Amino acid sequence: MVLAPESKVIMFTQITTNGSESFRTRVFIPASGIPDDPVTGSGHALLGPYWSAKLKIDIMVGRQVSKRTGLLGVELNREKKTVKLQGHGVIVAKGDMFLPD
């Protein structure tokens, strides 16, 4: 479980014994009005390196087990230090970010 007090995010994760999945997650963000997040891509991107180290594999399948469950392919690229996610998605927010030079 990960608890971030400043944003009141609660994330549970566990290894699974289901042969088609590597790990499962559940995410709650009650302070933002999200009692049970349907599928959290950003959470799976953070969990990719964690589960890769535990499971000794770089290509995994994560399942978020909320009411509106979802599967995500999670691939860790150690050389580039990136995590690639694969699955079906829905845009819930869109914007631009400007960084100072």
Q: Does residue 95 sit within a domain?
A: no
Whether 92 maps to a domain, the answer reads no
What residue type is 88 in one-letter code? H
The pLDDT value recorded for residue 48 is 92
The better pLDDT of the pair 33, 20 is held by 20
- Three-class DSSP category at 85: strand
Specify if 66 maps to a domain.
yes
- Residue 82 domain-assigned? yes
14 closest CA partner among 63, 57, 59: 63
Report whether 75 contacts 83 (CB < 8 A).
yes
Domain extent for 25 = 2-86
Residue 56 Ramachandran class (φ > 0 left, ψ -120 to 50 alpha, else beta): left
The model's confidence at residue 43, banded by pLDDT at 50, 70 and 90, is confident
pLDDT tens per residue across span 9-22: 778 889 887 788 99
What the block records as the tokens of 52 is: 């890769």
What pTM, to 2 d.p., does this model score?
A: 0.74
pLDDT in tens, 70-93: 899 999 999 999 999 999 877 778
**Do the beta carbons of residue 25 and residue 12 sit within 8 Å?**
yes
